[in-house]
Structure 1
């Protein structure tokens, strides 16, 4: 099973993974929107940094679930 197939299966069967996936994509959109703000503002930069940290955390947690899923299917 490929990584992409594992992600698809997890999205279909694991509600927690699906929520993390959706939140990660929403945060990606928000970060992109904040990055376009000019001139830079300390408050906006702090919010952008917070969102990036949360996004990275979600990515790490999803990666753990993907690896765990793949190890069970082999």
Structure 2
């Protein structure tokens, strides 16, 4: 039997603070931190679906190496 395992997502150094992911994807877990600051992921709101990874045009969202939610 297969079950879904949520992913732990992180913001890497490629984040340009363009807020494209926030404006286009509108995930409540993606939060701006201010001008010139990378976005942050509110882990209390993140479901671990991983869709945001495909939304960022800069590749700044990725699965965390430890992938433990």
What's the TM-score bracket when you normalise by the shorter of the two chains? Answer: under 0.3
Structure 1 length-normalised TM: 0.25
Looking at secondary structure, tell me which structure has more helix per residue. 1
